Amino acid sequence: MDIILPNSIERILLDEATIQQRVQQMADIISTDYAGLRNEEFLLVGVLKGSFIFMADLARRLTVPHRVDFIALSSYEDSAAATGAVRMIMDTRADVARRHVLIVEDIVDTGYTLQYLYRIFGARQPASLRTAVLLSKPDRREVEVTVDYLGFQIPDVWVVGYGLDYADRFRTLPYIAMLKPSVYEK
Ligand code: 5GP
């Protein structure tokens, strides 16, 4: 069946079935790795807003008990891209200490956001700290960061859909896609 694309979409990079299949594989591996923990010992921390759909799909496919929590980050305006400065605008409700923490992030680009998260959460005495990231753009990396569970590597293009936005649009598309250049030029 042909998918009718919205006008702004240039091309689908990862279709819905491909994403769902990979998220299931990631959930299976994570469920094996975290087997035996109690609900209050395993905490998923989603990074808003971009990870909200990935988090919902991944968490629902886990077969091990877990809790979910969220943080929200904001890059400092103007110089963000240059300096990689990140700031937290909403923290978790749950206490991280002595819990096995899995950070759930949409995409790793330069690596500054993940580096920041490792630093902040690492300082809170978690029992362990790992990351599950749906997408990675290896060509863009400026700082080396470990991703424990990765969905897909993608080329250096701006992508939208499945939680990811452009100017707060396109987040609820079920696939991951590239935009037409005309969208940016508006
Ligand atoms: P980093 O700190 O690794 O450079 O950037 C991570 C953040 O940049 C992601 O959490 C995401 O918010 C944003 N980002 C990087 N590349 C893309 C992209 O292609 N599309 C969208 N929507 N956000 C991106």
CB-ligand 1 contact for 110 (6 Å cutoff):
yes
18-154 is classed CATH 2.40.50.140: no
Domain boundaries, the chain: 18-154
Closest C-alpha to 134, from 29, 32, 33, 50: 50
pTM of the model: 0.94
Tens digit of each residue's pLDDT (9 = 90 or more) over 81-104? 556 788 999 999 989 999 999 999
CA 110–ligand 1 middle distance (angstroms): 8
Instruction: Give catalytic status of residue 78 as yes or no.
Output: no
Tens digit of each residue's pLDDT (9 = 90 or more) over 119-175? 999 999 999 999 999 999 999 999 999 999 999 999 999 999 999 999 999 999 999
CA 33 to mean position of chain CA atoms: 19
Report the distance separating Cα 24 and Cα 133, nearest Å: 14
CB-ligand 1 contact for 151 (6 Å cutoff):
no
CA 88–ligand 1 middle distance (angstroms): 15
CA 164–ligand 1 middle distance (angstroms): 8
Report the distance separating Cα 16 and Cα 159, nearest Å: 14
Closest C-alpha to 148, from 183, 100, 184: 100
